[in-house]
Amino acid sequence: AQSVAQPEDQVNVAEGNPLTVKCTYSVSGNPYLFWYVQYPNRGLQFLLKYITGDNLVKGSYGFEAEFNKSQTSFHLKKPSALVSDSALYFCAAHKTGFQKLVFGTGTRLLVSP
């Protein structure tokens, strides 16, 4: 069965510092990986995805994520955090040819001024 793990319930970072939100997955075959962000009282918004190709993918709002097959990880990163990045971040995955997204439990990012 597919699963996604986000080991940190919350990540705290100061504005201007780099941030990393961790994600590991368990998907048979080649995974399709996603990051979504959820702001308060809003639906989830797509940030970026990995399907194939370059292991470093770039997405919205300056975010990027690195696919590491050997570590089955897909960590979300940003070089310089903004207070407005504070939100709930979800990692998600599905296996090739099977569009059934499995989400992690989410990581709350808190960026302090």
Partner 1 sequence: EAGVVQSPRYKIIEKKQPVAFWCNPISGHNTLYWYLQNLGQGPELLIRYENEEAVDDSQLPKDRFSAERLKGVDSTLKIQPAELGDSAVYLCASSLNSRGGEKLFFGSGTQLSVL
Name the site residues for partner 1 (rule: CB under 8 A). 4, 32, 34, 36, 41-46, 49, 51, 90, 92, 94, 96-101, 103-106
As measured in angstroms, the least distance from the Cβ of 16 to partner 1 is 29
Listed in sequence order, the residues at least 6 apart from 20 whose beta carbon sits closer than 8 Å to its beta carbon are 11, 75, 76, 77
Complex with partner 1: residue 82 or 101, whichever CB lies closer: 101
As measured in angstroms, the least distance from the Cβ of 21 to partner 1 is 13
Distance separating alpha carbons of residues 42 and 28, to the nearest angstrom: 32
Cα separations in angstroms, 104 against 2, 4, 82: 11, 5, 23
Complex with partner 1: residue 17 or 45, whichever CB lies closer: 45
As measured in angstroms, the least distance from the Cβ of 107 to partner 1 is 10
Complex with partner 1: residue 80 or 105, whichever CB lies closer: 105
As measured in angstroms, the least distance from the Cβ of 97 to partner 1 is 6
DSSP string, 34-87: EEEEE-TTS-EEEEEEE-SS-SEEE-GGG-EEEEETTTTEEEEEESS--GGG-E
Complex with partner 1: residue 6 or 13, whichever CB lies closer: 6
